[in-house]
Amino acid sequence: MKPTTLVFPIDEQNRILLGRKKRGFGADKYNGFGGKLEAGESFRDCAIRELFEESGLHGRPEDLECVAAFDFQFPFDESLTHVGYVYFLRTFTGHVEETDEMEPHWLTVDEIPYERMWDGDRQWLPMLLEGKKLKGPIVFGRDNSSVDKMDLTTVDTVLESEHLARIDLYING
């Protein structure tokens, strides 16, 4: 799969915007806003475009805080394997609206519905919300949904260009 971005908007009251995904991969799970990188697009441009398409919020690429680079590995369906960059965004404009793809909800940290999210998120999202930055592989099991193995490392800065060679491969075939 092409690389993806995932944006979690956070408002002044420290609430996080999650969307219940209405269709596609991970349908019915709550997640941040994101999608696949288009040819020639930077990660930040992709993140901002997908955020707007799925939530109605406008952001600026330079306001994104890159907090994680995950290698989502699906050994039982390699076509799903991809790199995912995760961003927090605390500065944005516009109004949140439901879209064809997402039903958005502002939630306090205590309200995050981990039981309705991707399996690994209950481990890494709290760490990111505490201010840690992470990178590493998240390996999914036979059902392409539960996590078999995770090997996450705390880093000072997430290098957004780290996977460029693989990205080139994904985009150019």
Residue 67 C-beta: closest distance to ligand 8DG, Å: 12
Q: Is 170 within 8 Å of 3 (Cβ atoms)?
A: yes
Beta-bridge partner residues of 86 = 6, 68
Residue nearest to ligand 8DG (CB): 24
Which C-beta is closer to ligand 8DG: that of 35 or that of 104?
A: 35
Smallest distance, ligand 8DG to C-beta of residue 147, A: 7
> What's the min distance (Å) between Cβ of 9 and ligand 8DG?
14
| Cβ contact 160:66 at 8 Å | yes
Q: How many residues does the chain have?
A: 173
72 or 87: CB nearest ligand 8DG:
72
- Kindly tell me the sign of the dihedral angle through the C-alpha atoms of 120, 81, 152, 140: positive
Nearer to ligand 8DG, 59 or 84 (CB): 84
17 or 138, CB closer to ligand 8DG?
Answer: 138
* Residues at the contact surface with ligand 8DG, assessed by CB under 6 A: 4, 6, 24-26, 31, 34-36, 72, 84, 118, 120-121, 138
Instruction: List C-alpha distances in Å: 18 to 21, 155, 164, 169.
Output: 9, 25, 28, 31
How does DSSP classify residue 50?
H
Query: Which CB sits closer to ligand 8DG, 16 or 121?
Result: 121
Terminal-residue alpha carbon distance, the chain:
11
At its nearest, how many Å lie between ligand 8DG and the CB of residue 102?
Answer: 10
